[in-house]
Amino acid sequence: MTLSHKALGVHLLTATGAVFAMLAMLAAVDGNWSLMFLWLVVAFFVDGIDGPLARRYDVKTNSPIYDGVLLDLIIDYLTYVFVPAYALFKHPEMLPGWTGWVAIMVITFTSALYFADTRMKTKDYSFSGFPGCWNMLVLVVFAIRPDYWVILGLVVVLSIAMFLPIKFVHPTRTARWRLVTLPMALAWTGFAGWAAWVDFHPESWAHYGLVITSIYLIAAGAMQQVVYGKDG
């Protein structure tokens, strides 16, 4: 297999995320939340490995006919934003009445702007502002079921945080603390799959793992700024 074929294969792998997004959406329409999240976890895993593969096989040089960055952003919007926002709105116990409408409009609008922002990556390949990982937030709230005012508050705060100069680490590209961040991201993926597999059973230990790993992943970039300075 030539290098160009391998690079093309990376694009094809990335594109499978669109299929997983559709499968997740169909499950959400049926109200099968556990299956929806299982598909989103699969998509999340694919998104985690296609980037390193794209850099390894230099897809920009060896398969330039497809724009891997654009393809990745399109699929990320579906799996990180669109499907999770729909689930948050559709589930009868998450955001009742007007709160659901506010959440889906805020999430989809701000995320569309963020995904098109040319300043979304910092010099150390972290994200500048909350990177629109609503799939992670929604899965956690499905697991721990906080009050709807808490959910709405998180949606508003994180939507604002998209446009603030706060760093959020990239699990594979941010070099600082990668030895901790990457295992945390892998653990989060495992806990997410576990929680969905047991249909978010309230006594599952997966919920504790989700909370711990989520707190680290959402706070690590800001902690680095505190320790090393705002540009650290």
Q: Report, in this order, helix, strand and coil percent for the chain, each rounded to 5.
A: 70, 0, 25
For every residue of 64-101, which 3-state class applies, written as one string?
CCCCHHHHHHHHHHHHHHHHHHHHHHHCCCCCCCHHHH
Domain carrying residue 162: 3-228
Q: What is the pLDDT of residue 92?
A: 85
Please state the pTM of the whole predicted model.
Answer: 0.91
Q: What is the pLDDT of residue 178?
A: 93
Q: How far is residue 207's CA from residue 146's CA, in Å, rounded to a whole number?
A: 13
Q: How far is residue 225's CA from residue 13's CA, in Å, rounded to a whole number?
A: 34
Q: How far is residue 40's CA from residue 101's CA, in Å, rounded to a whole number?
A: 22
Q: What is the pLDDT of residue 76?
A: 95
In the chain, which residues have pLDDT < 70? 230-232
Percent of the chain with pLDDT over 70: 99
Q: What is the pLDDT of residue 231?
A: 62
List pLDDT tens digits, range 165-193: 999 999 988 999 999 999 999 999 999 99
Q: What is the pLDDT of residue 203?
A: 87
Q: What is the pLDDT of residue 89?
A: 94
Q: Write the DSSP assignment of 100-137 as a string of letters.
A: HHHHHHHHHHHHHHHHT-TTSB-TTS-EES----HHHH
Q: How far is residue 76's CA from residue 71's CA, in Å, rounded to a whole number?
A: 9
Q: Provide the domain count of the chain.
A: 1
The closest of 138, 173, 153, 140 to 47, measured between CA atoms, is: 173
